[in-house]
Chains A and B, each alone.
Chain A
Amino acid sequence: METDLSSQDRKDLDKFIKFFALKTVQVIVQARLGEKICTRSSSSPTGSDWFNLAIKDIPEVTHEAKKALSGQLPAVGRSMCVEISLKTSEGDSMELEIWCLEMNERCDKEIKVSYTVYNRLSLLLKSLLAITRVTPAYRLSRKQGHEYVILYRIYFGEVQLNGLGEGFQTVRVGTVGTPVGTISLSCAYRINLAFMSTRQFERTPPIMGIIIDHFVDRPYPSSSPMHPCNYRTAGEEVGVTYPSVEDSQEVCTTSFSTSPPSQLSSSRLSYQPAVLGLGSADLAYPIVFTAGLNATHPHQLMVPGKEGGVPFTPNQPAHGAQADQERLMTHTPSDGIHCAATPTSSEDTETVSNSSEGRASPHDVLETVFARKVGAFVNKPMNQVNPPESPGTTSPLHGSLHSDGSSGASSGNNHDDFVMIDFKPAFSKDDILPMDLGTFYREFQNPPQLSSLSIDIGAQSMAEDLDSLPEKLAVHEKNVREFDAFVETLQ
């Protein structure tokens, strides 16, 4: 089967597939960074842009992809998968999408490798660019920052779709037939965005909310860690240096021929450093969870970094273990907080790193050490972290989110035809008998006579008043000291 393909074609094909896989990962991760992408067209070929598309190469992403591939190529039964998940500040995480680059056995022997396959792979990348903006996770990723972050994970092998919940949908990006098999790119994405909380009831809620700004990752040995779809410029990363990717053997096909295949011009493939800005620093934006959101889980959304530093979460196969891990992770910051009112970075670093080192985890779980740079406090109601409550009772931390949630929930209930509105007008006589405006107005129009103005009473009291005057004067003279004291206080 493979003897039909010339060795040069075979080598080219393998190279195309390898770089296609790397570029696919770049496109997917960059689409989930939360920023708009913009690259320039260049009319003169530079030789470093694979598939004639200007797609930047973020070194960490390439590094992770190469690590996952470990020198292999996607083949039958061995797919390259990019998993996109969402993680809230409290440690809840949820898989959003799995992008799969697969190979099946259907071969297209007639197809020309250096030309048709290459162009079709280029077309497939363009389709991937379009499709990555269209799945629900895109809008979520554009709003990440305070309350949640988007993480990615690359793995190689069998596709695992279990974490996507029920009723996930699949969209096919495209296929390209090659002489060794058909490359197929697709995305399975979650529909049901209700949070599946892995929290247990006995977990102690943090007393105060914490905004964690930066987590600096340290290199670690791991099989497949989660990575944030946020990144910082190389200068900010402390202690993290990825080996620069130098592939002197890798050349980018830039020359084509309209006549029978001729020599390919070779150019050095160079990776550009990621000089891209931080993730969008949205302030307290609520998550837009559309239909499917379980109203009994109001959010419990705290705000991890507003500027993009994100905890590295080890991804583990078992949910139980993951819950433990998450619990530990959120405990450590709160432990740090209990120590001091205003956390200093050094103190927290110590506390956090001690506790995280303590949880040396089993086999494929990596050991992450967090060094928190800045911490700030946010007042958070005590009951926010508890298990399901009715929507109305949770007091809003970020007013917009919860009011949206609760109004959304309550508006559904207030569809009675008439609602008894009990209001107390300001002009009513007393609180017990509120009266309406008409009655008040009528009474106002016809007030009773002032008693002192009625004549018969007045005539009689005049005489009485004159008689009682001396007595009154005597009483007042007795109290003259009190009057004086009162006058003193006035002065």
Chain B
Amino acid sequence: MNCRSEVLEVSVEGRQVEEALLAVLHTVLLHRSTGKFHYKKEGTYSIGTVGIQDVDCDFIDFTYVRVSSEELDRALRKAVGEFKDALRNSGGDGLGQMSLEFYQKKKSRWPFSDECIPWEVWTVKVHVVALATEQERQICREKVGEKLCEKIINIVEVMNRHEYLPKMPTQSEVDNVFDTGLPDVQPYLYKISFQITDALGASVTTTVRRLIKDTLAL
């Protein structure tokens, strides 16, 4: 099947990078998380409940909704923090992108390792701008807030198309589709990675690929 790819672009000030990224990533994961599955006999399962909470941004006039899962939040913050540090240290034009990829694992026969087949990738391109005056920063707060509103609407639009989603797995297959490692929610298996790009758009020096959750690695 083809992997669906969505690209969002944001232009933010340095201190807004984390919040903008968290807003987008959390909104996507809100839609791509379910409650924990509990399998019973006869192939039936029940689904736990997903809590939600509002998060106010400190540097942007914006509030987003995320699932109530501290572990998930921590994982995202860690990834976004690393991206922000890499962006800062790169010393370039402040261009980078972060990717949230949803994948399915496909078991292969021995001796081959499992394949990870992505079915949806969200890429957020970040452009960091430097502002001089307080007034500009204030305007930036509001503008970025409005832009994020548009991004959320875009995300919801994509989600609403009801395109391919992995089939609900049986108990034995659930780890190939969902990340079952969290105690309270169950997102689809995902990976976060980022790249710092220079002005030419080519991926340069730092290409860091990090696996946030790796259940089976041969």
Contact = CB atoms under 8 A, between A and B. Distances in A.
A41 B69 contact: yes
Interface in B2-53: 27, 30-31, 34-36, 38, 40, 42-53
A285 interface: no
A172 B68 CA distance: 25
B68 A39 contact: yes
B46 A36 contact: no
Nearest to B160: A174
A258 B185 CA distance: 19
**For the complex, would chain A's binding face be called helix, strand, loop or mixed by DSSP majority?**
mixed
Contacts of B130: none
Contact of B153 (A39, A41, A131): A131
A54 B54 contact: no
B53 A37 contact: yes
Contact of B61 (A41, A131, A139): A139
A115 B54 CA distance: 28
Nearest to A111: B162
Indicate the size class of the contact surface on chain A: 35 or more
Interface stretch (A121-129, A320-328, A379-387): A121-129
A54 B46 contact: no
Nearest to A120: B162
User: Which of A37, A54, A122 has the most chain B CB within a 10 Å cutoff?
Assistant: A54
A115 B167 CA distance: 11
A143 to B, nearest CB: 11
Most buried by A among B47, B49, B51, B61: B49
A173 B35 CA distance: 22
B29 to A, nearest CB: 10
Contacts of B184: 41-43
A125 B52 CA distance: 11
A23 to B, nearest CB: 12
Nearest to B157: A172
A444 to B, nearest CB: 41
B170 interface: yes
Interface string A13-45: 000000000000000000000001111111111
**5 closest A-B pairs (Cβ-Cβ)?**
A174-B160, A41-B184, A36-B54, A41-B51, A259-B43
28 contacts: A36-B54, A37-B54, A38-B51, A38-B52, A39-B51, A41-B49, A41-B50, A41-B185, A45-B48, A53-B49, A54-B68, A55-B52, A127-B31, A127-B160, A131-B152, A133-B152, A135-B149, A142-B63, A172-B157, A173-B156, A254-B46, A255-B45, A256-B45, A257-B44, A258-B45, A258-B168, A262-B43, A265-B46
Interface of B: 27, 30-31, 34-36, 38, 40, 42-56, 61, 63-65, 67-69, 149, 152-153, 155-157, 159-160, 162, 168-170, 183-185
